[in-house]
Structures are given as C-alpha cells and as structure tokens.
Amino acid sequence: MDDEETDDLIDTAEESEIQEEEDGAGRDVDTQSEAVDDENAMPVIGDLDKYLQVYEQTFEKIQIPTDVQQESLQALQDFLATQTSREAAGDVIFSAIFEAAPSLQGLFKGPRSIMSQKFVAALLSLATVGPKPGMLKTQVETIGFQHLDVDVTVARADVFRDAILELFDQELGPKFTTKARFGLQILLNYASGALIFIRREYASRIRIIQNSWQLANKKAAGITDVQEALTGTKKGQEKRSSISREQTEEDSEGELDLDLDMTKNTDGMMVPNSFNDMFLFNAAVMGLSNNEWMNLILDQLDAIANNVANPYRLQEECEVLALVLSRYHGSFVLSEFKAVVLASLRSLVPTEWTSEHEVAWNWLWQNVERLLKSVLGKPQVYEKALTGVLSGLPDDQVAFLRQEFFLNFFKVAPTGQDFFKQSLTRLYYIADKIIEMTTDIYTQPRAMVEDISGLGLRHVGYAIPAELFPPFVTSAVEIFSQVTTDDTAITAFQWSMSLVCKILVRATSEGSTVVMKAISTNDEVSMKKAMATSARGKRAQELLNISVGTQSISPFYWSIQSGNLNSAKAILEDLLTIRADRDVYYYACDDLFTRHPDVVKYLMTDVPLLLDTLFNGLVWRSRWINKGYRRVNYYVKHLVQDLEGQPSETLSWLADYRDPKLISHETIVTMSDILWDGVKYQFLRRRLFFILSLCLFLASQSVLTVLEPSQNIRNALFVCRTLIYVLGLPQLLYVQLKSLCEDCRNGDVDRILRVPVPQYLWQWQGLGSLILLWLLIMMCTLEPMYWCLGDLSYPLFSVNCPAGLEWKRVYSTFSCVAMMIYWSLCLLLSVFHMRLSAFILVCKRVMSEVGLFLLALAFILLASTTSVVALDHTVEDFGDMGAGTMTLLEMALSLYPTSKLDELRHEEVLLVFVIGFCIFVTLFLFSMLIAQLNQAYQHGFEDMLGYARLNRVQITVAELEVMPQKRWLTFLESLALGQHLEFNEGDVGVSGGVQVLELGSLHPTATESIRRYGGSTAPSMPWPEEPGDYGSEDKFEKLEKLIIRTTKSLAKGNRKHGGGASGVSGVGSSMAQSASSGGDSSNESV
C-alpha cells in the first residue's frame, strides 16, 4: 500500500500541532483548537458540487461557507425547539426515516432512545464545526469508525438524507431557508460518503488490530509451557514470507535470539500469563530489558490498541503518553518498542498472524509515532514557562484570575450560569483548582488523568452539558493571556487546558448514559424508560457501575447523593425484580451486594425510606397454595455472609440502628433466626457456668439452710458456698476486667461528674454482674462458717458460734440481695422465647407508669396525713405523722383491720375524711393505674417484640464474633446458600436464599412477582415492554404522539419533494462557486 493511504488516519496528528509563530493575537482557544491551527497543511476542497450527491471516492476536507453553516445550525436548533427534548427530536427523525424506508430498521440494532440522542448530538456537532475543515473531517472520521459494522450504501444514504430534509421542511416551513437546506444536504452527503469510504478502506485494518490484540491477551493467559510459544513462533515465521526484506531481517534477528535463549535457559519453565509479561520476556531476550521507558509506553498500549478506531481518543492517549515520556530522563528509540511488540504478538497469535497483521500493526505504530513526535519535546518547555509565570504572579493578578475566570465564561456562554450555583468563595476555590490542574498535568500526568476522569464522572451527575467545556477553555485562556505576555506560557496554558478539557469531555460522554440523564429528572416513569433500553445481560451493571478508565461511579448511589430519591427507588426496585426468559433467570441481588457490600448501612445513614424497598425485594412469595401452605424464598445470602464468606456486618448495623419496626421485617426476622439457630447452643454453653453458679447459690442459701442441721448438711453447705467463692468470684472478676479493658481500648468511656464510667455498665448485665461481684466478696469476708472454723467448741462448719452470729444478720442481707441479682441476671435466658422476652420488656416499660402511681399515692398520703393530724380527734392510729401515714397506707391497700373501724364512728369529720380518701385512692387512683398499664401495654407490646428481637440480635452478634472459624464454615455449609431454589414444582430458580413454607392465609398473593418474557433469549436484547410498565401517564403520552403524527400527515397533503439534489442543484452550484471564490453568498444570490 502507498504512503498516502496508510497516512490517512493520522491527518488529525498534522492538525494537532500547536501554532508556533508568536502571533499573540487571534488564537483559537477552542477545545479542539489543535485541529484548526494547521488548516494550511492540506488543501481545502472548495468545489462543493460533487457533494450535492453522496460522494464516496475520496475523503477530503471541505469548507462550508460560514453563512450557510450558521443558517443550517439555526434550522437544526429551531427543529429541536419544536420538540420536548433531544430524545423526542431524534425519535421523530427516525420515525420519518423508517416511514420512508422500513427496510432501514434492520441497520439500527440498539435501543431507539439511545440512538435518537446520539444521532441528534452527532448532527449538532457536525453543524457546529462546519466552517472548520480539519475539525469537520476528524468528527466525521470518528463517526465513521464507530459505524464500521453498518452496511452504508449510496441508495440508503439518499433515502436517509431525503427523509430528514423533508421532515425539516415539514416541521419548520418558511424557517427552513434555502441556505439551511443546502448546508444540511452537504453535511449529510459528506458524512454518508465518508462512512462508505472509511468502511471500505480502513475497516479491515482496524478489525485486525482489535481482534489480534484481544486474542493476544486471551492466549497469553492460557499458555503454560515455553515450548508452545517456541513452536508458535516458528509457525508464524513461515507465514511472513511476503513482508519486506528489511523488516524481516530486523525482526528475525530478534526472534533468533529469543529461540536460542528459550531453548537454552527456559526449557520447560512457565511462561508469562499476560501480554505485558510476554513483552518484558521478549525485551529481555532481545537485550532491551534495561530500557525502562518501554514500561511507560507498555502501560499505555492497551488503551491505544483498544481505541484505534477513535481518532480523538487516540490523540488524547498519545498526548498523555508524550507527557509521561517527558518525565523520563534518558533517550529512547520508538522503533525498538515496535520490534518487541510485534515479536510478542507473533508469539501469542502464531497461527493467525499474516502479512495483513504485519501491515496493520505497522500502520498503527506509524500513526502513534507521528502523534508522539508532534508533541515530544514541548511539555518540558511548556511546564517551565507556565510554572514560572504562575509562581511569579503578584497577589492582585491572582485575584484578577479568580474573579474573571467565571465572569468571562458567563459572558461567553450565558447558559453556564444555570449550572454554577455555588457561592463566590466556592467559585474562587474551583478556579484555583483548575489553574493547579494545568500545571499538575505536566508533573504527574497519569495521576491527573485518573483525577480528571473522576471529575468528569461527577459532571455527568451534575448534568452539565459537554457543549459548555469548549467556551470554558476559551474564556480561561483569554483571561490568562491578560495577566502575562509570555507567548510560550500562554501556549502551555492553552495546551494543558485543552487536554484537560478533552479528558473531561470524554469522561462525561462515556459516563452520560440514558440512566444517568434520567436520574436528574427524579421521575420514576423516565427512569423506567431509560432502564428499558438496556440489554438484559448488562442491565444491572448499567444501574450500578459506570466506569471511565479506573474511575467509576454508581448511578444508584449517585441518585441518593443528589437527592433524586424517586429515581433511586426505581433503580432499587428494578434491581430486585426477578425477570426470566426461557433460558435464564435475571435477579440482580448478587450484583447489588457485590458492587455495594455496605448498601444496608448506606441506606440506614442516608435514606432509611428505601430500607423497606430493599428488604421487600429479597422476598419471593408463590401465588400457588399447596395443602394450605405456600412457598416463600428469602434471598438472605449477602445478609448472612460477606463476599469473603465471613459473617456479614449487616446484623451488627441493624443492632446499632435500634429500630424495632425494621428489625421485625420478615426478611430480617428470617435472617436473624437463621444466625440465631447457629449460635444459640454456643450461647447456652457459655451461660452454663452461670446457671451452675445459680444452682449452687440457691442450694447454699435457700434450700439446705432450712433442712435439719446435721453434719452432712453442714458439709454440703460448706462445699457449695466454697465453690461459689472459689469458682464464681474469679469468673465474675474476669468478665468485669475483660469488659473494662475492651471499653477502655475502644474509647467507650463516659464521664459522670468527671468520673469515668465504662459503657458496659449502662447495661443491666454489666452493672448487675458488678454488683453481684461485690456482694459475693462481702459475703465471703462475712461468711459465718469461716468465722466459726477456729471455735472447736462447736461442730465443724457450724454457723452458730458467737463470731458467726455477730455477722449472720448482715450476711443474710447480702445473701438476699445477691439472690435477687442472680435471678434478675437469669432473665437474659428469655431470649430463647420472643414473647416471653417481649413481656419482660413490657414489664420494664410499664414500671414508669407504676412509678407515677406511687408518686401520686405518696403525695395523697402526705397531704391526707398532715390534714388528719391537724384535725382534733382521739383516734390513736392517727395520733402523729408516722402512725397516720401507715394507717392510711393500710387502708389504701385493704390491710387495715375492720375491727378498728368502729373507733371512727364517734369521729364524724375524721370518718368522712377517711371515706373520701379511700374512695379517691381505690376508685380513682387504682383505676387510673390499671388504665395506664393497659394503654402502655397495647401501645408498647408491638414495639417490645422488636426490642426483644434487638436484644437477641445483639447476643447473636456477640456470639458470632467469638465463633470458631471451623464451626462457622460448617454452619454455613449446612445452609446450602449456593443451591438453586425452586420457585414452583420443577421450576429451578436462582441461588442465594432459603425456602420456607408459610400458611396460605398469612400473605394473600394474587399476582406472580416474577416477570416472564417470551421471544429472543439473547442477553444482548432488552426486555420487551409490557402494557402498564410506565403507568397511565404513558398511555396519554402515546395517544398525544399519535394525534400529532396524524395531524402532521394530514397537513402534509401532496407536498412531496424530489430525492437527491432535486430543487437544490442550481443552488448548490452557486454555493459551490461562492465557496471556491472565497466569497460569502447572500440570500438574494441564492
């Protein structure tokens, strides 16, 4: 092939050279300014006559007159204004095309909404760059590489063009001027011819490069023995007989060394398992292992090879690579890198390698070399000049930069004001960061590319149009040129800003999916329509992960962070909807928890309203009832275990959240019960010592003490009490010290009056154990048996010696309190029965009501007693405050002897007072207590069931933390969470859950929750739409579109335009003549 043909793809490299003449003024600082700085490098075709038809013989630059371009762009904008959105405009265009030629529908295989948006965006970009031949050619070239698989013909292009022009004529009427029609016709014909030319000339090369690169990376991971690579290399050599002698000698010399070295030193060794390793292996064999610069290019090679069909991206990658190489101190020879790459490719794809592969990869590398050489040497100069200017700017100039950065941008692009709503100080901060970015891109290019890509993804979430980036760069360079006269620094600032803008635009365009755009609407219907366009096999990933390079953003999380909760709910419901075709069940539960393992905690913190949606989506309930029961599947795998197979932290998060209603959700109940079943026996074993201690204490203090005090009884008493002191005390002390150390280590210490109090003491189990510890210590020191051991006049282990009797009463008091503490601590075992545990919690809750009652009773007693004592009477029971209080309390509790009531007969006033007191306390106060307790019980019992479950969950979490790994793995295996569960009999579904049977009357289910579809089962196909998918609003929208379409068809009448150049050929000739002569034609000349 001749040089002209092989160099066509890199026209953009010639266009990307920065103008080096120091002209100071008149710089074009557009984002793509590199594409127009070198317009004189190639001739511009001024004769537009041949583009009145589709011309595919050559692909050259053309110059569209400025006035024609402006009217074409205005017509396109007027057409967009007649539609509700760009998507609607694209849909109207495609409807017109398919009505004109229904057979063209087969060429468009993607979702129609996505194609509509892309088509309108491409048409706008072409109309915008029409007067700039270099940019127009690059833009069309990019579109052509993206449509290599579309069979574009001249006949199809004619139909396509005529349908669009007719639609514009119909929609715009007189607004669609002759110039506008001519301009759009030239653009469409030029683009169509370019698509045909590119597909004919370059498609095979690009496919060869992409396929061989993918195959090389795939095979590199599969080779296991060096001899296989040796054999493959020799086979590949036999197929390269058609390559030029110079290239063959250059490469075969390196391969000879490779064969000899491998045969001699690496026979039978494991070979590299990636292309990069194979490259380094071959470089070492060829004696180039000391060239560290090769690693720099190697890191960029994957992006270059994968984006060979995208000139913009290829130029960006080469510019970044040039920046990386500029940081390398030393010399490098690019041809050496090519030799190693080709040797590695031949080793990895020996059977597929042909002379066409050799030509294609040489062609790619020549393009890369030319792009690199156009930039190499400049970054060092640019960095030095830009850094020097910025570091030497006085404070007033820096302040000027900050202030004018956005003010000038708002003048250039007024619509930009709608997207910058931050305060002035925040805008100053952003301006500083942008200026910092222009210098950092020189010093740390790869790190900055990652940061800028992440920034671009955030701009997608902010819904900032990509059209605002070029004027932003333009205004920034204009302001910077006002603070310095150093042309090199200005050029450096322009170049770095343009590169930053390229990366931002790319990241924004790659991340601007229909899902991200729909999120900003916060409308469930729009969100569902956007999701409906995704392929069923990639639908979940498009909702959970959008990647640009190594940076990624989650549309689901972004919808929450941006406050678009309706969109977030629609995404979550879609992810947790089970869909099925004949081949596969699609359920994105695994995808959700794999992408966001902390989704439960995240929703608890940011949007608790979606927790019910999440947990409801983990339940499938059959609508069929068999023998009174229905099947229910709970997909709780990721709530039970994390991605590493360890206990999930979900239960701990729920325990900390302390929501009794959430913990009572059926999914959480099922999950917590599963884990409780795995740890309850371990918990019981850990409490056995306490239960044994209670039994010993009970026997020694309440059972044996009431029996006849024989020597055997005394011996048993001594043994029981000694065991309590010897075993029980150390165990309690160990638990206290362990809890104290843990709280101190974790910083869980509160202060009350400057006294540190560990948090475990705020729970009754901790505080009760501490009190019991001190009670047992006191009992041990006061134990009567020990005091009587030295008194031989009494039987062994007696408690009746004088020394023992001295402390016996105090000892018995401590024993009584300790017994109550023991029984209260035993209430923890109520977690084995939820209703019993809830009842205990209810009792604790209503104690506050009892407290209020006792407070009221005390007040009434005090008031009544003081009143009675002030009364002149002769009844002794009311003689003083103490006696009167006890008497009234006995009357209130019905404990006052009836025989003493006769004494009140002669004291009429006192009798009336006592009767009033009894009526008030008995009929009112006690009735009020009963009503309060009843109301508190009814309102609190439902929540108490939740709090009881929370107590059990806390115990479960604590037991899981100390559960042995082997026991956990055995328990996990017994759950069989990896086993696929049946939906209905014989219908095997997805794995990751447990199946239970519930009474058919508990949750009546009339409709099937699984959405089943017929038709194609290809994962690349989107799910078919069903009636009611978008609610009633969608029906009215479709009806409105039908009415509008019918009205337009009726208004159209007999207005039919000819195809191709009919009606505009004369116009085209005059336009072409004016373009070639360099003059601008007016409407009158047209």
Q: Give the pLDDT confidence of 500-535 residue by residue, as tens digits.
A: 988 888 888 888 888 888 888 888 888 888 888 888
pLDDT tens by residue, 975-990:
999 899 999 888 898 9
Look at residues 337, 357, 335, 356 and name the one whose alpha carbon lies nearest to residue 346: 357
Q: How many residues does this entry show for the chain?
A: 1086
Q: What is the sign of the dihedral through the CA atoms of 34, 2, 359 and 249?
A: negative
The pLDDT score that the predictor gives to residue 819 is 92
pLDDT tens by residue, 622-674:
988 888 899 999 999 999 999 999 999 999 999 999 899 999 999 999 999 99
The pLDDT score that the predictor gives to residue 1080 is 39
pLDDT at 598 over 90: yes
Give 806-810 contacts, CB < 8 A, sequence gap 24+.
807/782, 808/784, 810/782
What mean pLDDT comes out for the span 293-320?
86
The pLDDT score that the predictor gives to residue 32 is 36
pLDDT at 114 over 80: no
What three-state secondary structure class fits 4?
Answer: helix
According to DSSP, the residues that pair with 647 across neighbouring strands are: 641
What mean pLDDT comes out for the span 124-146?
78
The Cα 118–Cα 115 span in angstroms is 5
The pLDDT score that the predictor gives to residue 275 is 82
The pLDDT score that the predictor gives to residue 607 is 92
What mean pLDDT comes out for the span 116-143?
78
The Cα 926–Cα 922 span in angstroms is 5
The Cα 409–Cα 475 span in angstroms is 5
Quick one: what percent of the chain has pLDDT higher than 90?
19
- Give the pLDDT band (50/70/90) at residue 262: very low
What mean pLDDT comes out for the span 900-926?
84
Quick one: what percent of the chain has pLDDT higher than 70?
84
Alpha-carbon torsion, ordered 489, 493, 494, 496, to 10 deg: 130
The amino acid that residue 273 corresponds to is N
Rounded to 10 deg, the angle between the 226-238 and 334-348 helix axes is 100
The pLDDT score that the predictor gives to residue 579 is 92
Residue with tokens 């009929």: 923
Q: Provide the CB-side half-sphere exposure for 116 (13 A, CA).
A: 22
The pLDDT score that the predictor gives to residue 915 is 87
Look at residues 475, 347, 351, 345 and name the one whose alpha carbon lies nearest to residue 410: 475
Q: Higher pLDDT residue, 392 or 149?
A: 392
* Cβ-Cβ contacts under 8 Å for 597 (sequence gap 6 or more): 638, 642, 643
Q: What is the sign of the dihedral through the CA atoms of 284, 364, 504 and 519?
A: negative
pLDDT at 1083 over 70: no
The pLDDT score that the predictor gives to residue 1041 is 67
Average pLDDT of the chain, as a whole number: 80
CA distances from 134 to 41, 498, 753, 785, 983 (A): 10, 16, 78, 107, 61
pLDDT at 236 over 60: no
Helix residue spans in 562-710 (DSSP H): 565-575, 589-595, 599-606, 611-616, 637-640, 650-657, 660-663, 666-698
The phi and psi torsions of 20 (rounded to 5 degrees) equal: -100, -10
The pLDDT score that the predictor gives to residue 148 is 65
pLDDT at 812 over 80: yes
pTM exceeding 0.85: no
Burial class (CB in 10 A: 0-12, 13-18, 19+), 224: exposed
- Give the pLDDT band (50/70/90) at residue 282: confident
pLDDT at 166 over 50: yes
pLDDT at 182 over 80: yes
pLDDT at 41 over 50: no
pLDDT at 470 over 70: yes
pLDDT tens by residue, 712-741:
888 898 899 899 898 888 888 988 898 888
Q: What are 633's two structure tokens?
A: 């599947």
Q: What are 314's two structure tokens?
A: 């290829």
The Cα 438–Cα 391 span in angstroms is 13
pLDDT tens by residue, 738-793:
888 888 888 888 888 788 888 888 888 888 889 999 999 999 998 888 888 877 77
- Give the pLDDT band (50/70/90) at residue 17: very low
Q: Considering only 33-42, 59-68, 183-192, 923-932, which range has the smallest mean pLDDT? A: 33-42
Q: What are 685's two structure tokens?
A: 């074993």
Q: Considering only 82-91, 250-259, 339-348, which range has the smallest mean pLDDT? A: 250-259
pLDDT at 221 over 70: no
